[in-house]
Chains A and B, each alone.
Chain A
Amino acid sequence: MFMYEKKLQFPVRVSNKDVRMAQAVLNQYGGPDGEMSASMNYLTQRFSMPLNETKGLLTDIGVEELGHMEMVATLFKKLLHGATKEEMTEAGFGGYFANHETCPFYLDSSGSPWTAAYTQAKGDPIADLYNDMGGEQKARATYENLIKLTDDPLVKDTLRWLREREIIHFQRFGEALRLVEEYTAHKKFY
């Protein structure tokens, strides 16, 4: 079952509007290594996990990633708040605005729509956990790129938080992988 809590995990603040930055952060909303891809990966892979530990972990991290999606969407909105028609056109945002106004939509920053092709559910727990670890690294790298793209310290704060959580997730998945590998090796003796 899913519950919603009416708050963000971590505060999202911006010093000033920045249409270009808004477009860039959209990658972490509907892009290949974004929060939605991560969440959808984990929330479906958990159905083929053999251990309670990994069922728990994939469920809980999958849910946390939904909360991160919400943070990215909030960042997107705040970065666009008060943007003028001129600012939008200059940033190449006119096309997006025509289709979606300032509503976050499931695209990457080049306009490609989100697709299940960004996810994997091999059903094999070891393959899936290795995939998830790779995904967390890609997300971390993307956040580092985004941090470089802005000078706004408030925006950097939020992006740094999200980056740190990816690193923690990577560590947890590493532990899960070790548990699954031990379990699988143990089984082979029988």
Chain B
Amino acid sequence: MNVMYSQQNQQISQQMMLQTIMQYQVATLDLALYLDTHPNDPVALYRHKAYSSQLSKIRDEYEMLYGPLNNYSIETGDTWRYIDSPWPWEQEWGNK
């Protein structure tokens, strides 16, 4: 019983953390696309920097807990967690 509850909690934490990363990534990418055609816009540059550094922080946290998100991040575990479930097309949010 207790084991299931904590497994579910782990799942929810993983989902929430991943969702935050996804949100920061979308914000950063949107600014990157804008900067591609407006490379000197100071506001966009500032915002990109702000989102990018937040993204970096939370990614590091996530990767430490759940494994690398790409081949080039440092693996801090004892196994190659990069291949661990869930893969992106298996990822559920809530229970869907």
Show the binding face of A for B, using Cβ within 8 Å: 3-15, 52-54, 56-57, 60-61, 64, 70, 73-74, 77-78, 154, 168-169, 172, 175-176, 179
Per the CB 8 Å criterion, the residue count for chain B at the interface is: 29
| Residues A5 and B70 in contact, CB atoms below 8 Å apart | yes
- The proximity string for B residues 42-76 relative to A, scoring 1 for CB distances below 8 Å and 0 otherwise, is 00000000000000000000000000111110000
| Residues B89 and A77 in contact, CB atoms below 8 Å apart | yes
Show the binding face of B for A, using Cβ within 8 Å: 18-19, 21-22, 25-26, 29-30, 32-34, 36-39, 68-72, 82, 87-89, 91-94, 96
| Residues A13 and B33 in contact, CB atoms below 8 Å apart | no
| Residues A73 and B89 in contact, CB atoms below 8 Å apart | yes
Output the residue of B36, B38, B70, B71 with the most chain A CB within 10 A: B36
A interface SS class: helix
Nearest B-chain residue to A57, judged by Cβ: B36
4 A-B pairs with the lowest CB-CB distances in the bound complex, closest first? A74-B89, A56-B36, A57-B36, A175-B37
What's the A-B contact tally at a CB cutoff of 8 Å?
Answer: 76
Select which of B32, B82, B94 is within 8 A of A6 by beta carbon: B82
Inter-chain CA distance A52–B72, complex, in Å, is 27
Inter-chain CA distance A15–B96, complex, in Å, is 7
Nearest B-chain residue to A175, judged by Cβ: B37
Chain A residues closer than 8 Å to B89, beta-carbon distance: 8, 12, 70, 73-74, 77-78
| Residues A7 and B88 in contact, CB atoms below 8 Å apart | yes
Inter-chain CA distance A78–B21, complex, in Å, is 22
Nearest A-chain residue to B93, judged by Cβ: A11
What are 22 A-B interface contacts by the 8 Å CB criterion? A3-B70, A6-B68, A6-B70, A6-B82, A7-B22, A7-B88, A7-B91, A8-B88, A11-B22, A11-B93, A52-B39, A54-B37, A57-B36, A57-B37, A77-B89, A154-B96, A168-B30, A168-B33, A172-B37, A176-B36, A176-B37, A179-B37
